[in-house]
Amino acid sequence: MLLGYCRTSTAEQNPDHQIDALLRNGVDRDNIHVDVASGAKASRPKLDLVMQLMREGDTLKVTRLDRLSRSVLHLVTLGAELRERGIGLHVIEQGIDTSTMEGRAMFGMLSVLAELQRELIVANTNDGLASARARGRVGGRRPKLTADQAELAQQLYDAREKTVQQIADMFNVPRSTVYGHLDKTKTVPRQPKKTVVTKP
């Protein structure tokens, strides 16, 4: 099955150009889903729905990569998930098709860049902490994560690579800071504590 995804940054923008392109490329109108969200906004309910609907052998079609992803890191994470699930990706205007050798090679290069980005964020964080300790500042905890650190925290959490505590330790911040930066639509709610009744 072919599924199409469109995104506009504001309600005033018209998605008709994207929809028409998807229709011309074989996607049924009923299988086209449109989000209204800025590139930086984490919550995209229609994209989440598309990811739930797709099955092995399906193909996701978009007009351009910037309609699908808010960052290289997000794009590669999404691409890796699609590949693991046996789902194709076709980016119409940029000619990227993961069913071809060239398309897979491009995603491979993006994966290398994303991994480098992750390592640089962690290295910069560690350098900053070391510099702070050298100047006699104990702890080095910061009240907020940078935009790159918040993005990395979300990706690590979504991919279930690290727990919230491990992410907090990595950036030397409290768990509450990490929770404050995670997309609330994806975080798992805490289970209420069970009351243990002891027999007299």
- Catalytic residue numbers read 9
Strand order in the sheet with 32-36: 32-36, 2-8, 59-62, 88-91, 96-97
Residue whose pair of structure tokens reads 């086209």 in the numeric block: 32
Residue 187, both tokens = 């975080």
How far apart CA 9 and CA 172 sit, in angstroms, is: 34
Listed in sequence order, the residues at least 6 apart from 44 whose beta carbon sits closer than 8 Å to its beta carbon are 7, 35, 37
Residue 74, both tokens = 């997000």
Three-class DSSP category at 173:
coil
How far apart CA 100 and CA 142 sit, in angstroms, is: 45
Residue among 188, 126, 113, 111 at smallest CA distance from 157:
188
Judged on CB neighbours under 10 Å (0-12, 13-18, 19+), 136 is exposed
